[in-house]
Amino acid sequence: MGNVAVIGSGTWGTAVAHLIAGKNVAVRMWTRSADVADAINATHRNPRHLPDVELAGVMASASFEESLRGVDAAIFVCPSSYLRSIASSCAPFIASDLPVIVLTKGIEAQTGFTMVELLEDVLGNPSRIACLSGPNHAEEVSRGLPAATVVASSDEACSLYFQDLFNTSMFRVYTTSDVTGVELCAASKNVIAIANGMSVAMQLGDNASASLMTRGLAEVTRLVVALGGDARTCLGLAGVGDLIATCSSEHSRNRALGSFLVGGGTLAAFEEKMQMVAEGAVACKTVTELARLHDVEMPIAEAVRQVLWEGRDPHEIIETLFERPVKAEQE
């Protein structure tokens, strides 16, 4: 683990580069902008994301070939909408046995693939591919605050490799073989967080937020089980852990998006203001399409989709959710 490539220089990519470099691992960070790469190399800080975080031991480049040359592992941390094109550009420089992990959360719109399935499709050799997910806000991880996460892979040796790479005294890493469960939880929780952000902006109270989170978890669990995942994963770090953090935290861009929509804002205006992608905006479409395909009921996710992509009023849609026919809790 002498050299590691981090493909992506956003907030989470910057935090991850800082985390791993702190273990005396040389990090090469790919960034789309040559100007950002030059700034990181000159000042050891990312001028666009987490600029107060020192990136000692991190060298940046806008070249995929340079970023991946001679590395022992590759970490993909880029928006889900761009992952295929970026991975395809990286493919010529990634050996068939190089360990690869994806920290991106989402479902590909064109194929319905999870992020691991996408990388398997582009890079081949699934046994060396893993994903990482959990309640891991970049702002806190970069400050060395305590956090825990889970690495999932179909191959135990791959999981253990990345567990060792990421684990520190303040960043505790667990492993699982339930890749499907981890990835579906990761994509879906962002959608529920948008709904909760709407509720918070409407000042509907803590009871409403708790209800949305709990029923949201039920939706996610139904989807996970329908696609062959383990329901227990939904009660772990990638499931309820990440759901609570994303729905509740001031750092959550998806919760912030929900609040922004209630105030009359648009998705485009939000992303322009934040200079970051809210993955839940895309996921509400891809997750609900996947749910329909497998005959899984996800009313909260459907409501978010209707607000973002069909012009429904947030106030009206939240009221509609609470007016749905009651039923047994286990249904």
Active centre residues (catalytic): 189
The rounded distance, in Å, linking the Cα atoms of 105 and 276 is 14
Which residues does residue 243 pair with via DSSP β-bridges, in sequence order? none
Instruction: Give which of 199, 223, 228 is closest to 211, Cα–Cα.
Output: 199
Provide CB contacts within 8 A for 69, sequence distance 6+.
93
DSSP H helices in 22-155: 34-43, 64-68, 80-90, 115-123, 138-141
Could you tell me how far CA 274 lies from the centroid of its own chain?
A: 17
Which residues does residue 176 pair with via DSSP β-bridges, in sequence order? 152
Query: What are the two backbone dihedrals, phi and then psi, of residue 155, each rounded to the nearest 5 degrees?
Result: -115, 120
DSSP H helices in the chain: 11-21, 34-43, 64-68, 80-90, 115-123, 138-141, 156-166, 179-201, 206-226, 242-248, 253-262, 267-274, 279-293, 299-310, 314-322
Q: Three-state SS for 13?
A: helix
